[in-house]
Structure 1
Amino acid sequence: MNRRTFLAVGGTAAFGGVAGCLGGNSGTAANEFDYETTTTDGVAVPLAPVDDVFEWYENDEARFADARGRDQYETIRIADAVFSPAPDGTEDDPVEEWSTDTRIVTYCGCPHHLSSQRAASLIDAGYEHTYAIDEGLGGWANNGYPLAGSDVETERQTYEISGMTSADYAGQMVSLEQVDADRREAAPIADDGSYTLQLHYAGSTDSRFRVEAPDYTTEGTLADLTSATITA
């Protein structure tokens, strides 16, 4: 399906035509539909329900940016999505070729922490019609919406890694990275210093992962990291 010819109707976002540049610095989302927002890096990011996003997809009314790691993108992604990882994309990022009035939908699997980082960066750069999928890639996949990638049919397990840090870091992010692959997730620190990282994963349980909080870093297998609450 060709997703490069959507034209603005009734004031909605458009793509095609003149390429945009990452330099608008508006820092404010249009949020035409008055969706709930999450604040990331000082930017209010609209969280679009997955069913609304799928309607945009079906009507060629948005373009999609995957905010996760490269290995996750190659394995399973929304069909027609580009790779544009959080927080600021890649060198020669494909989004740079899009007009700044493009309606952009970012997504990740955690379910909207990496995607809200990427969306905040895009909004700050002048892409005001940017949204993150509220339910994340999992919500898209669970509804049977179109997917692409090398491992679409594989069933994934959900792992939750819980930890504690100082309440002084409330609102900051904790990251999870696979040591031997470009696979990443993130989660915010709650007011009491707690956090929960969620990973949808089908690889080897012997692989090692690294958790980075503002005040400590720890590494282990998923069995190690899920066996108890992580602390400094």
Structure 2
Amino acid sequence: MDRRDYLAALSVAGLSGLAGCGALFDRDGIGDPPDGCGVPDTFAANRGSLPPDDTPTDGIPPAMSETPPSRDVDYERFRVVTVEGVDVRLVPVDVVHYWWLRGAARFADARERDTYDRAHVYGAVWSPAGSDPACDPVTYWPDSDRIVCYGGSAGRSGRHRAAALINDGFDNVYAIRGGFPAWHRGDYPVAGVAVDPSASSNTTG
């Protein structure tokens, strides 16, 4: 099964009651942003042995050689925080990694550009709060697909980005609990100009 179709099949009911203003774009299917939007030249820098990503603006990591078997996810573990009146679900990093391995989420990095350039979740697009919607890959994603946002050490930018997407009509949005540092501490797959390409990354779950 195509990973894009697989991702859509795994989508779950989200925070439908929190949807805000209508979207400016038709989100029934995936589209493509203008060239140069959301995926800087550093996207695949020092990816080491990780497979190439032929569709970088979709936010879905490339297929791994081994996909972990399906498992139950305890959604009760997801802490909920309120950001500017919007409830945002925080996902433990081990669950996020499981979704990453299965291609079951799209990833949006809400940090500053230079921070993204240094290191980011491999497969994640750069999508900070306040970005131009016409040049943000997330704008072109189906609004029912699972989206995982993340920020820095405090995780605030990821939570705010998730809240903004929920307000914009996306109904299956999460933020990584602990932000990018939690992902990095888990030795999960990263790319960027500051990444040692010889360092091992946990791609097998």
Identity of aligned residues (%): 40
CA contact (8 A) 1:84 1:90 kept: no
1:60 and 1:33 map into 2 onto residues whose CA distance is: 18
The alpha carbon displacement at 1:115 in A equals 0.4
2:10 and 2:141 map into 1 onto residues whose CA distance is: 20
Q: Match for residue 6 of structure 2?
A: 6
Are 1:40 and 2:64 matched, yes or no? no
Secondary structure of residue in 2 paired with 1:6: helix
Are 1:126 and 2:180 matched, yes or no? no
CA contact (8 A) 1:89 1:118 kept: no
Q: Which runs of 5+ in 1 are unaligned?
A: 21-31, 155-232
Residue of structure 1 aligned with 2:157, choices 114, 129, 152: 114
The alpha carbon displacement at 1:55 in A equals 0.4
Structure 1's 7 and 77: CA in aligned 2 closer, same or farther, altered over 3 A? closer
Q: Which runs of 5+ in 2 are unaligned?
A: 14-26, 32-73, 198-205
Query: Which structure 2 residues correspond to residues 1-232 of structure 1 after superposition, within 5 A?
Result: 4-9=4-9, 12=12, 18-19=29-30, 33-34=75-76, 35-86=78-129, 88-91=130-133, 92-153=135-196
1:105 and 1:133 map into 2 onto residues whose CA distance is: 7
Q: How many residues align?
A: 139
The alpha carbon displacement at 1:109 in A equals 1.1
CA contact (8 A) 1:111 1:137 kept: no
CA contact (8 A) 1:66 1:83 kept: yes
The alpha carbon displacement at 1:3 in A equals 5.6
Which amino acid letter does the alignment assign opposite residue 72 of structure 1? T
**Over 2 Å off, 4+ runs:** 2-13, 88-91
CA contact (8 A) 1:108 1:137 kept: yes
The alpha carbon displacement at 1:141 in A equals 0.7
The alpha carbon displacement at 1:61 in A equals 0.5
Which amino acid letter does the alignment assign opposite residue 52 of structure 1? V
2:98 and 2:162 map into 1 onto residues whose CA distance is: 20
2:160 and 2:82 map into 1 onto residues whose CA distance is: 9
1:47 and 1:95 map into 2 onto residues whose CA distance is: 19
Structure exhibiting the larger radius of gyration computed from Cα positions: 1
The alpha carbon displacement at 1:17 in A equals 6.5
Secondary structure of residue in 1 paired with 2:96: helix
Secondary structure of residue in 1 paired with 2:12: coil
Which protein is richer in helix relative to its size? Answer: 2
Q: Give the TM-score normalised by the residue count of structure 1.
A: 0.55
The alpha carbon displacement at 1:7 in A equals 3.8
2:131 and 2:108 map into 1 onto residues whose CA distance is: 9
Which protein is richer in strand relative to its size? Answer: 1
CA contact (8 A) 2:105 2:148 kept: yes
CA contact (8 A) 2:28 2:143 kept: no
Which amino acid letter does the alignment assign opposite residue 76 of structure 1? A
Structure 1, residues 189-216: CA drift from partner, whole Å, max 9, x if none?
xxxxxxxxxxxxxxxxxxxxxxxxxxxx
Aligned CA RMSD, in angstroms, stands at 2.5
2:120 and 2:6 map into 1 onto residues whose CA distance is: 21
1:90 and 1:10 map into 2 onto residues whose CA distance is: 29
1:100 and 1:134 map into 2 onto residues whose CA distance is: 22
